[in-house]
């Protein structure tokens, strides 16, 4: 590991710890300013699904994109945490028996295994709802204009036109395999939409002008494609102990991936190309965008 | 049926038709301003769960509360539709086999029966997300300040401190029956929170001052209690053909209700008392609040 990647991975850990602290506060038994004591079992299931030592790559993107514009730190953390709540809810619901039927997530029992199906469904619903609560609540460091823009952007990225719609296409894909354009569309919605939003949200938090915001959104688009390609590569090249979850499942179910269509070597070349394209988009920001450049490389080369 | 209640029920139908038109637009295959074609099966499941001829009592409350303050009509319709999307998502998830395991809703197959479980879970998630999209989207007639207030209020009403938390308590109640305070708390979260929010949201849409907003919130609280009590009464006094869903289930599962604790006659008296208290709260609004008064009576005396 060279100095740059060592420093990068230290920064990633630091940001993950910062987000973990925010998530811990958001999921405390009696949060500040609320009289109600939260139903203990439901809260425990939400905590199980969220406070699990994830890399927090989406909040990391929000925070580092916001830092380009010297944004308010509290506001960036709140926005990153909201996005992570959405990501975690989607994992809980995706793991359900009716969906991917996974029993392990990061080497631990999934929420419906540790609790029960009804509680896992409700925990997901509650986390999804909490994300919008966090973005819109008073005193989160955001003015009303940015609150409205962030809520709208998150709802678009997570809903039927984004992540949830992608998951819907994924269910259909188990019945009839999509062609290349279909695979790209599915992945761009299912995985890409939240990564794209992460980068755009950082720009919104930082009050970036429209051109800058659009640039970061396109950067997010590129690394979303890279993220999915790296994931598909890992699915064929790694084993379950490295991933902390079942692997090779996509291929086993006959779901198409670009790696499956074009092979491992093509995918590695394409990954390099995507990282290059992503970095070109960051040129106007000079060295203020160095961390985002490193993130693009990290996403393309990750091993778990 | 006397003239007042005939006019009231005509107004209820009129508003339901107005909301139905908004919901139909929100759930169209390619909504205005969005390029993406929505995944057909997922969209069909969402439509099945929403466009089902419901009474739309929550949007009705939003619209009629907003009319006290001469609020913008488009904004009130959007807010009412968002709230109805939340209500419909909660029904889809509550009906799932892991939850209440209901096969009928308004005399039609529930979403997981008409489609499948995975699609029902995703349809609920997508409707929940769409609700926040509708509140925060540009050109919905709301300024950013009201958008933020409405999003925050809806998230609080629907999340772990409100409806979802109440549903969590309800799952626990199947294991050990709650006492009277526990029953009231559960119902106030599970059913009451959205009705309370409906009235408060109307005040927000109408730019009401804080005292008025609080008054409408308390009115919503009262009719929420009345609504639940009427529901519990119906559960013991009506049969399945009237309700369009299975009845007597709560008692069969040993879930406590106030009717079960105190009997039918006590409950009918209590209902009258709640309607009286609710109407007292509306006095400062004079005859501008007549429709809300009639709504309180309607909720207490409904037969399905």
Distance (Å, rounded) from C-alpha B188 to C-alpha B218?
12
Compute the C-alpha angle A154/A157/A159, nearest 5°.
100
CATH number at residue B217: 1.10.600.10
Q: Which residues of chain B have pLDDT under 70?
A: 1-4, 32-36, 239-255, 303-304
Q: Do B135 and A144 touch (CB under 8 A)?
A: no
SS3 B101: coil
Q: Do A158 and B129 touch (CB under 8 A)?
A: yes
pLDDT 10s digits, A223-252: 999 999 999 998 888 754 454 445 455 554
Q: Which of B96, B98, B164 sits opposite A126 (nearest CB)?
A: B164
Chain B residues within 8 A of A165 when measuring between CB atoms: 36, 38-39, 42, 126
Helix (H) or strand (E) holding B170: helix B163-173
Site from A50, A92, A168, A174 to mutate, B interface, most B CB atoms within 10 angstroms: A168
Q: Does A118 touch chain B (CB under 8 A)?
A: yes
Q: What pLDDT, on the 0 to 100 scale, is given for residue A62?
A: 98
Alpha carbons within 13 A on the beta-carbon side of A17:
6
Has residue A34 got a pLDDT over 80? no
pLDDT mean across residues, chain B: 91
CA of B173, closest CA in chain A: separation in Å?
11
Distance (Å, rounded) from C-alpha B78 to C-alpha B26?
10
Q: What pLDDT, on the 0 to 100 scale, is given for residue A42?
A: 96
Chain A residues within 8 A of B148 when measuring between CB atoms: 136, 144, 147-148, 151
Chain B residues within 8 A of A164 when measuring between CB atoms: 42, 122, 125-126, 129
Q: What pLDDT, on the 0 to 100 scale, is given for residue B302?
A: 74
First to last CA, chain B: 16
How many other C-beta atoms are found inside a 10 Å radius of the C-beta of residue A255? 18
Listed by number, the residues of chain B in 167-226 with a beta carbon closer than 8 Å to a beta carbon of chain A are 167-169, 171-172, 189
Report the number of distinct structural domains present in chain B. 1
What are the phi and psi torsion angles at B37 (to 5°)?
Answer: -85, 125
First to last CA, chain A: 16
Exposure pattern of A153-185 as b/e (b: 16+ CB <10 Å)? bbbbbbbbbbbbbbbbbbbbbeeeebeeeebeb
Chain A residues within 8 A of B34 when measuring between CB atoms: 161
Distance (Å, rounded) from C-alpha A292 to C-alpha A198?
12
User: What DSSP string runs through A24-91?
Assistant: HHHTSSS-TT--SPPPHHHHHHHHHHH-S----HHHHHHHHHHHHTT--HHHHHHHHHHHHHHHHHHH
Chain B residues within 8 A of A154 when measuring between CB atoms: 132
Q: Do A128 and B129 touch (CB under 8 A)?
A: yes
Do residues B31 and B23 make contact, with C-beta atoms less than 8 angstroms apart?
Answer: no
Chain B residues within 8 A of A144 when measuring between CB atoms: 143-145, 147-148
Owning domain of residue A246: 3-301
Do residues A93 and A117 make contact, with C-beta atoms less than 8 angstroms apart?
Answer: no
pLDDT 10s digits, A137-154: 998 999 999 999 999 999
Q: What pLDDT, on the 0 to 100 scale, is given for residue A172?
A: 81
A247: left (phi over 0), alpha (psi -120 to 50) or beta: beta
Split at pLDDT 50, 70, 90, the class of A253 is very low
Q: Do B151 and A138 touch (CB under 8 A)?
A: no
**Nearest residue on chain A to B43, alpha-carbon basis:** A160
Compute CA distances A93 → A44, A89, A273, B288, whole Å: 16, 6, 33, 45
Q: Which of B122, B154, B159 sits opposite A167 (nearest CB)?
A: B122
Chain A residues within 8 A of B42 when measuring between CB atoms: 160, 164-165, 168
**Nearest residue on chain A to B137, alpha-carbon basis:** A152
pLDDT mean across residues, chain A: 91
Q: Does B113 touch chain A (CB under 8 A)?
A: no
pLDDT 10s digits, B201-218: 999 999 999 999 999 999
Q: What pLDDT, on the 0 to 100 scale, is given for residue B255?
A: 62
Q: What pLDDT, on the 0 to 100 scale, is given for residue A52?
A: 86
What are the phi and psi torsion angles at A40 (to 5°)?
Answer: -60, -45
Q: What pLDDT, on the 0 to 100 scale, is given for residue A302?
A: 74
**Nearest residue on chain A to B41, alpha-carbon basis:** A168
Split at pLDDT 50, 70, 90, the class of A33 is low
Do residues A151 and B136 make contact, with C-beta atoms less than 8 angstroms apart?
Answer: yes
**Nearest residue on chain B to A155, alpha-carbon basis:** B133
Q: Do B118 and A98 touch (CB under 8 A)?
A: yes
**Nearest residue on chain B to A146, alpha-carbon basis:** B144
Q: What pLDDT, on the 0 to 100 scale, is given for residue A158?
A: 98
Do residues A101 and A109 make contact, with C-beta atoms less than 8 angstroms apart?
Answer: no
CA of B247, closest CA in chain A: separation in Å?
21
Q: What pLDDT, on the 0 to 100 scale, is given for residue A304?
A: 60
Q: Which of A117, A129, A167 sits opposite B158 (nearest CB)?
A: A129
Do residues B136 and B130 make contact, with C-beta atoms less than 8 angstroms apart?
Answer: no
Q: Which of B98, B119, B136 sits opposite A155 (nearest CB)?
A: B136
């Amino acid at each position: 590991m060279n100095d740059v990647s060592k420093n990068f991975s230290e920064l990633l850990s630091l940001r993950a710890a910062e987000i973990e602290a925010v998530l811990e506060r958001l999921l405390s038994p009696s949060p500040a300013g609320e009289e109600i004591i939260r139903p203990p079992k439901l809260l425990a299931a939400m905590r199980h699904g969220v406070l699990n030592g994830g890399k927090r790559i989406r909040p990391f993107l929000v925070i580092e994109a916001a830092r380009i514009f010297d944004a308010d730190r509290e506001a960036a953390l709140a926005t990153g945490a909201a996005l992570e709540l959405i990501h975690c809810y989607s994992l809980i619901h995706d793991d359900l028996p009716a969906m991917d039927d996974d029993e392990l997530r990061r080497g631990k029992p999934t929420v419906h295994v540790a609790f029960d199906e009804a509680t896992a469904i409700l925990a997901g619903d509650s986390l999804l709802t909490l994300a919008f609560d966090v973005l819109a609540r008073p005193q989160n460091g955001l003015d009303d204009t940015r609150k409205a823009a962030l809520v709208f952007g998150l709802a678009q990225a997570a809903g039927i036109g984004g992540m949830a719609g992608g998951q819907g296409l994924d269910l259909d894909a188990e019945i009839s395999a999509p062609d290349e354009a279909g695979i790209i569309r599915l992945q761009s919605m299912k995985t890409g939409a939240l990564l794209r939003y992460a980068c755009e949200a950082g720009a919104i938090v930082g009050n970036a002008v429209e051109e800058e915001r659009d640039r970061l959104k396109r950067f997010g688009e590129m690394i979303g494609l890279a993220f999915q390609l790296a994931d598909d590569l890992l699915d064929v090249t790694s084993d379950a102990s490295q991933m902390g979850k079942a692997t090779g499942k996509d291929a086993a179910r006959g779901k198409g991936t670009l790696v499956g269509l074009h092979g491992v070597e093509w995918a590695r070349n394409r990954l390099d190309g995507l990282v290059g394209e992503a970095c070109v988009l960051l040129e106007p920001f000079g060295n203020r965008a160095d961390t985002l450049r490193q993130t693009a490389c990290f996403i393309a080369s990750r091993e778990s």
